[in-house]
Amino acid sequence: MTINTTILTRVCISHFLSAWNSRVFEYSAVLLLAMIFPQTLMPPSIYALARALPAIFIAPALGRQLDRMNRLVVIRRTIVLQRVAVCLSSVLLAMMIKFNVGSSSTSISVKVGFMVLLSLLACIEKPMSIMNTVSVERDWVVVIAGSNNSDLREMNSIMRRIDLFCKMVGPLSVSFLVGYTYIGTAWLLAIFNFGSVFIEYFSIAKVYFLVPALAVRASASEAQSENDEQETSLLSSDTTPEPSTVTQRTGLSAYIHHSLFLPSFALSCLYWNVLTFGGLFVTYMLALGYSPAIIGVLRTVSVTFELAATWISPLLMSRVGPVRAGLWCINWEALCITGAVIAIYSTNGNSSTDKFLFIFSSKSTFLLVSAVIFSRLGLWGFDLCAQSLIQEGVEPESRTTFSSFESSFQNSFELLSFASTIIFDKADNFWIPSAMSAIAVLLGAGCMALFTFKVRKHLIHGIPISRLLHAFKSRDVNIREMVIQQELDEEV
């Protein structure tokens, strides 16, 4: 990479602290609420809903405002507001544990009061967390990388590795800590967030002052000029689509009519997916009789495949470009998820007690888990491809707005996945939400296929039939081989 090591280190420190605090708090809050109210899932569900809804309705409006503000001011405000909300929420959780708010002797008004306060803080915490992530991943790294697409894709991969590390280690650490002390976990959350805010605050500021380009916001006229230049240079290239020519539209209309809406929407469709090692699939595995230890091992294997995708995807993009790489990745996920649904349907009614490979209750569950694990390669591979397309193709003055609407769609699809398991809440009916997930993934694959056809004018990477016939009419074998090789070289 050609990026200054100091800059890269500071960006990684800031992103790690942001991702770690967000992952750990999100998991800890729901877990502690489940401990406080052991007889009902209603409080954790209300809290999760309170966190998700602002991400759908508030984040896009914030994105439009942030695109016009100074980058350092934006990132500092998101850091401070998110950390304040987390610290106050942690203190409230500690108080609820100390005063045993979940007990039957506590009045309803007290319970409602605490939940209202937590929900209001969640309405601040989640949008600020999203804005921080969007600002760094979709705007800052683009400016830092400049015109070097290789550096940009490598930085994207590093960001994803940090996210996945926090996703794997953060909840695991909380699980061990909660086993020792509930109230101590809440206080430690508050202390860690309070202390880390200063490190993150000054680390990202150092990056801002080391990269002068971050102080410049593109005007509409500059963006239009840049779009015209990109359109001219990319008409003959299949690595990045031509940018949107729709510059007068604003808000949701601008997002939907943007030339990169299809890959963005395809990525959002993948959030309607119960076939991941999240809470829904883990609950299903527990219902099948698997122990938490075995599920933990399988989940670790799954995250390992996700990390592998952060190395495979950049290599794939460097060979065939982000458009084709993205199509291959999402098709791979669609194939794996479809196989997983078939395996789940086959598992229903299977009362066999024979073990397969000493772990799995049957060959069907082995195929199910294998399909889910292998699908992660496609998911995170496509995530990086779509992110690369969006970073390189969205106008500088609209990056945050575009990404905030994308985040809104992602959260909406994620809520639909929760709703599907609420309606079909029995383990025997889990194949129905799984089938819905497969349909959503196939919809995403269809959107990406349409986008690929619009950019490349074909889907199957092959040789025109007319030239093949011309080649094979020749009696000279060397001529036939030369023509075919020329066609392949042109396609590459």
Instruction: Give tens-digit pLDDT for 3-20.
Output: 788 899 999 999 999 999
How far is 491 from 225, CA to CA, in rounded Å? Answer: 30
pLDDT greater than 60 at residue 489: no
- Compute the mean pLDDT over every residue in the chain, rounded to the nearest whole number: 80
Q: What are phi and psi of 476, to 5 degrees?
A: -85, 115
Residue 374 has pLDDT above 70, yes or no: yes
Taking every pair of Cα atoms in the chain, the longest distance, rounded to a whole number of angstroms, is 93
Given a cut of 70, whether residue 294 has pLDDT beyond it is yes
Whether 351 shows a pLDDT value over 50: the answer reads no
pLDDT (mean) for 275-299:
76
Asked if the model's pLDDT at residue 234 lies above 60, the reply is no
What tens digit of pLDDT does each residue of 30-84 get?
A: 778 878 887 666 787 778 778 878 777 777 777 766 677 888 888 999 999 999 9
Which range among 152-166, 349-363, 411-425 shows the weakest confidence by mean pLDDT?
349-363
pLDDT score for 151:
85
Would you list the domain boundaries of the chain? 1-217, 253-461
Q: 233-239 long-range contacts, Cβ below 8 Å, gap at least 24?
A: 238/321, 238/323, 238/324, 238/455, 238/456, 239/321, 239/322, 239/323
Cβ partners under 8 Å of residue 113, min gap 6 = none
Say yes or no to pLDDT of 473 above 60: no
pLDDT of residue 120: 93
Quote the CA–CA distance of 436 and 439 in Å, as a whole number. 5
Instruction: Map residue 243 onto helix, strand or coil.
Output: coil
Give yes or no for a contact between 138 and 209, defined as CB atoms under 8 angstroms apart.
no
In this prediction, residue 42 carries a pLDDT of 72
Distance CA 388, CA 142 (A): 9
pLDDT above 90 (res 318): no
| Interval 25-42: pLDDT, tens | 987 887 788 788 876 667
- What confidence score (pLDDT) does residue 414 get? 83
478 Cα distance to chain centroid: 49
Can you say how many angstroms the Cα of residue 371 is from the centroid of all Cα atoms in its chain? 19
Dist. CA 3–CA 265, nearest whole Å: 31
pLDDT score, position 257: 87
Q: Which of 422, 434, 334 is nearest to 378 (CA)?
A: 334
How many angstroms separate the first and last alpha carbons of the chain?
25
Q: How far apart are CA 285 and CA 265, in angstroms?
A: 30
Angle at 399 between CA 397 and CA 404, to 5 degrees: 130
- Cα angle 78, 81, 86 (rounded to 5 degrees) comes to 115
Mean per-residue pLDDT for 244-256?
A: 62
Q: What are the phi and psi torsion angles at 470 (to 5°)?
A: -65, -40
Alpha carbon distances (Å) from 247 to 67, 210, 211, 226, 240: 15, 31, 28, 12, 19
Consecutive H or E run containing 472 = helix 465-473
- Are 1-217 and 253-461 the same fold in CATH? yes
Strand residue runs (E) in 417-470: none
Q: What is the pLDDT of residue 462?
A: 53
Buried b or exposed e, range 2-25, using 16+ CB within 10 angstroms = ebeeeebebbbbbbbbbbbbbbbb
- Residues contacting 47, CB < 8 A, separation 6+: 29, 30, 33, 115, 118, 119, 122
pLDDT at 88: 96
Give me the DSSP letters along 290-354: --HHHHHHHHHHHHHHHHHHHHHHHHHHHHHHHHHHHHHHHHHHHHHHHHHHHHHHHHTT-----
Task: Taking residues 457-465, report their average pLDDT.
Answer: 58
Q: What does the pLDDT average to over 340-369?
A: 71
**pLDDT band (50, 70, 90) for residue 160:** confident
How far apart CA 54 and CA 126 sit, in angstroms, is 7
Average pLDDT over residues 206-231: 65
Residue 136 has a pLDDT of: 87
| Contact assessment for residue 386 and residue 268, using Cβ atoms and an 8 Å cutoff | no
Label residue 286 by pLDDT band (50, 70, 90): confident
Question: Contact 464/486 with Cβ under 8 angstroms?
Answer: no
Residue with more model confidence, 291 or 207: 207
| Residue 378 in this model has a pLDDT that exceeds 90 | yes
- Residues 200 and 128: beta-carbon distance below 8 Å: no
For the chain, what is the total number of helices (H) and then of strands (E)? Answer: 18, 0
Helix or strand run (H / E) with residue 52: helix 42-57
Question: Which residue from 443, 53, 126, 408 is spatially nearest to 252, judged by alpha carbons?
Answer: 408
- pLDDT for the residue 451: 92
pLDDT, tens digit, 9 for 90 and up, residues 85-129: 999 999 999 999 999 888 888 899 999 999 999 999 998 998 888
Domain 253-461 in CATH 3.30.70.3460? no
The Cα 203–Cα 211 span in angstroms is 13
Q: Which of 159-163, 227-231, 360-364 has the highest mean pLDDT?
A: 159-163
Least confident piece of the model among 311-315, 328-332, 363-367: 363-367
Percentage of the chain lying above the pLDDT 70 cut: 80
Neighbours of 153 (CB within 10 A): 24
Q: Which residue has the higher pLDDT, 92 or 280?
A: 92
Residue 232 pLDDT: 42
Mean pLDDT, rounded, for 460-473: 52
Task: Residues 1-217: name the CATH superfamily.
Answer: MFS general substrate transporter like domains (1.20.1250.20)
Radius of gyration of the chain measured on its C-alpha atoms:
24
Nearest by Cα to 288 from 340, 363, 365: 365
Number of Cβ within a 10 Å radius of residue 115:
20
Q: Please calculate the CA angle 295-300-301 and round it to the nearest 5 degrees.
A: 100
CA distances from 127 to 63, 122, 387, 483 (A): 10, 9, 20, 56
3-class SS string, 3-32 = CCHHHHHHHHHHHHHHHHHHHHHHHHHHHH
